[in-house]
Amino acid sequence: MGTINQWLENFAAVMRTFRVKDAIDILAIGLIIFYISKLVRETRAVQLVKGILIMLVLYGFANLFNFTMMTALLNRFFEFAVIVLFIVFQPEIRKFLEQIGRSNYTYRRFKRLLVGSSGDMNLPAISQYLSIYVEAIMQLHERKTGALIVFERRTRLGDIADTGTIINATPSIMMIGNVFYNKAPLHDGAMIVRDGKVYAAGCILPLTNDNKHVDDNLGTRHRAAIGVSEVSDAVVVVVSEETGAVSIALNGEITRDYTRESLTNELNHLLIRSESEPAEKFSFRIRREKGESKSEQ
């Protein structure tokens, strides 16, 4: 009872000195905790979070009932907990920071800082080559030739390009078709498009880890498209080797069955849009088809 009274007295003392900036501080911490919980939800990291919460509950009981040995042991544990958390949650922390860096608000602020409000950074100069990519993709669609084309946007994919062959060439329908010809040495990898040009081919992409929501019928090519779209803001076009269906992956989501007209409109919207239009708008305009798509390679 004495401990509870002491806690109440301490709480009353804190409330007497409580100010507006303290409320803002608490709100900020609450938002950080919310976004971290959203980030680790439905991943293996959530099990670690549960384990940490159990340790905190045990620590509270140990202090409440004056369990000297358990309190000392848990104190030692929590002394190194911060370092352990950074090591264990490294993938989630990296994903969280990448999402912050890719946000449109961060991009606009960073742009103003570097080049001023009226300047322009190195945005993809895709407009003059868009028709070439669309025509090449539709020819691959008609021949049911598997293809994976990654259009870079703000996030550079140099580390992924290094896994393939650097080409850095002006695109043509024939060249794109030859890259994905099923007996060509580069056909199994992805093509990376940078500033409108074919920058690299035969590149290895990271596969998505979201096996729970991805259709079991999706093959490696589509899982790779989803995977790279989860770790970057790239627009990824996939042509199925089984059905020839054309799909687009963005922000970890995939949509299917594009026609020539709809593909042109979508790529034009995503790659040549005005700076003021949010990149994330795509997520609200498409159907979530990770778990409801048709069988496809």
Phi, psi of 36 (to 5 degrees): -65, -45
Is position 122 within any domain? no
Could you give the 3-state DSSP secondary structure of residue 184?
coil
Tell me the mean pLDDT per 10 residues along the chain, length 297.
73 76 85 72 63 83 84 81 72 65 52 44 66 95 95 87 92 94 90 93 89 76 92 92 92 91 91 53 41 40
Total domain count for the chain? 2
Chain centroid to CA 238: 18
Specify whether 84 is located in the same domain as 209.
no
Is position 175 within any domain? yes
Q: What is the CATH number of the domain that holds 161?
A: 3.40.1700.10
pLDDT computed for residue 55 by the predictor: 82
Separation of alpha carbons 277 and 156, rounded Å: 20
Q: 152-180 as b/e, with b when 16 or more CB fall inside 10 Å?
A: bbbeebeebbeebeebeeebebebbbebb
| CB contact at 8 A, 124 and 199 | no
The boundaries of the domain holding residue 175 are: 127-285
Specify whether 188 is located in the same domain as 240.
yes
Kindly state the tokens that stand for 287.
């159907």
Specify whether 69 is located in the same domain as 142.
no
Is position 295 within any domain? no
Specify whether 137 is located in the same domain as 266.
yes
Is position 10 within any domain? yes
Cβ–Cβ contacts within 10 Å for residue 257, how many? 14
Q: pTM of the full predicted structure?
A: 0.62
Specify whether 174 is located in the same domain as 52.
no
Is position 215 within any domain? yes
